[in-house]
Amino acid sequence: MSDPEVVAVIAIDGPSGSGKGTLAVRVAAALGWHLLDSGALYRIVGAMAVRRGIDLADEAAVAAMAGALAISFESGRISADGLDLTDEIRTEDTGVHASEVAALPAVRSAVFDLQRSFRKPPGLVADGRDMGTVVFPDAGLKIFLDASAEERAERRYKQLKNKGLSVSLPGLLAQIQERDARDRGRAIAPLKPAPDALVIDSTSMSIEKVFDMVMDAARERGLGS
């Protein structure tokens, strides 16, 4: 078995709606690498805590629950303790609950090892907030994908509209700003670029352009070839 520490990692961090999820899926597919959607883990913890009536501010109780969850990502479905949560965890409310539990240090340490276990040959593309700063500080390429809050709210608005959901743009913007403030301002693993990250502002850039930039940067670093 190869040493997981030498398996290459591309870390993609950034705020919600920056396009990092889509980017990570495309980069992993292009390279034939594994994918870690770390936000989904925090979303599962938030959703399961709410389902079980656990107070989201009760750090010890949420962390104990998180550490005991059997989480599976299989064939595009995400489940915990045998419960399919694929659709439930994508709601705006679950995003807010995820960011509340993600601010608790004991919860972050409960999901730390699980995140690291995704590092398997031939490589891993890890998407989140602290992939390059905390979880995989030795990643061969670190991307920090940003975009203005207005642009991110607009993108999310279009996505939800296309799904036939009725949403308010000012409401989405307020939610994004609230989540940003909590993610950037928290004491543990705050959302910020690693010092050696390639920072890309995607506000007026297509996903194709961002993808090309990232694949060029990966090639320059000898990743995935």
- Residues near ligand C5P (CB under 6 A): 16, 38-39, 42-43, 95, 98-99, 102, 128-130, 179, 183
- Phi first, then psi, for residue 78 (nearest 5°) are -120, 125
199 versus 222: smaller Cβ distance to ligand C5P: 199
51 versus 219: smaller Cβ distance to ligand C5P: 51
31 versus 115: smaller Cβ distance to ligand C5P: 115
Strands 34-37 and 124-128: parallel
- Burial class of residue 85, CB neighbours in 10 A (0-12, 13-18, 19+): buried
Least CB distance from residue 155 to ligand C5P, whole Å? 13
Beta bridge partners of 72: 79
Least CB distance from residue 186 to ligand C5P, whole Å? 8
19 versus 39: smaller Cβ distance to ligand C5P: 39
146 versus 183: smaller Cβ distance to ligand C5P: 183
16 versus 202: smaller Cβ distance to ligand C5P: 16
Least CB distance from residue 99 to ligand C5P, whole Å? 3
Are 189 and 13 within 8 A, CB to CB?
A: no
Least CB distance from residue 21 to ligand C5P, whole Å? 7
Reported residue count of the chain is 225
- The SS3 call for residue 148 is coil
Least CB distance from residue 111 to ligand C5P, whole Å? 9
Both tokens of 48, joined, read 């399961």
Are 149 and 173 within 8 A, CB to CB?
A: yes
Least CB distance from residue 205 to ligand C5P, whole Å? 19
Using alpha carbons, select from 124, 37, 135, 122 the residue that is nearest to residue 86: 37
First-residue to last-residue Cα distance in the chain: 21
- Closest residue to ligand C5P: CB criterion: 39
Using alpha carbons, select from 93, 92, 98, 96 the residue that is nearest to residue 80: 98
